[in-house]
A = this chain, B = another copy of it.
Amino acid sequence: MDKTEQIFKGAITAFIKKGMQASTQEVAKEAGVAEVTLYRRYSTKENLFNTVLKNVLEKKFGAHVLEIAKENDTEIFLTNIIEDRLEVLMKNKDLVRMLLSESLRGNLTEKVNLPEVIFSSLKKGLEYHFQNKNQQVDIDFCAKQLGGVFLSYLILPDTQQFDQLTPESRRKIAKKHARSILSTLEEAQSGQSGI
């Protein structure tokens, strides 16, 4: 029974329930650990929060976006990245929603700020994918569109839960979004970009 692991798990479940407002008492109880132990190890609640989140972000959202970006066909690439990221996000929906809430409140440090982390990783993936094509693409606009897809599933009222669908349905939806984004890319080629 690794104490650190115990604390991390307990802290996460407590933080998911109440966000940063979860008391150290609750965290301690959830982790099966004395409250003072938390302070001896992490000094402040804020530090505990950041440490735990940094760890969990790497573990759960560590993206292999560049792998996906190697795909040469843009429609397939977009479909894959939507399918992949959306699945991860929806699997951790409660955690992600808590992070979004705290982010909106300005409570997150840069390294742990989920929207920023995801947005910048999307941009990197897009840059990588388009670098060798002589297609002029507004990366920011495209990343925003992708982000919008994720956010809509995370925040808008859900009739059907994404992670409860069959793989075929999921792929179909991902493809639909991908084609939607694709259509603006093709358009941008004959016009000019973003602004």
Contacts and interface: CB of A to CB of B under 8 A. Distances in A.
Interface of A: 19, 21, 97-98, 100-105, 115-116, 119-120, 140-141, 143-145, 147-149, 151-153, 155-157, 159-160, 165, 169, 172-173, 176-177, 179-181, 183-184, 187, 194-195
Contacts of A116: 157
A105 B165 CA distance: 25
A13 to B, nearest CB: 16
A97 B105 CA distance: 8
Contact of A148 (B102, B149, B159): B149
A148 to B, nearest CB: 3
Please classify the interface of chain A as helix (H, G, I), strand (E, B), loop, or mixed, using the class held by over half of its residues.
Answer: helix
Given A144-B152, A148-B151, A176-B184, A104 B115 contact: no
B115 A156 contact: yes
A105 B103 CA distance: 12
Contact of A104 (B101, B141, B160, B173): B101
Given A145-B149, A177-B184, 16 more contacts: A21-B21, A98-B105, A101-B102, A104-B104, A104-B155, A119-B156, A143-B156, A144-B152, A144-B156, A145-B180, A147-B156, A151-B152, A165-B195, A176-B187, A179-B187, A183-B183
Contacts of A105: 19, 98, 101
B153 A115 contact: no
Nearest to A97: B104
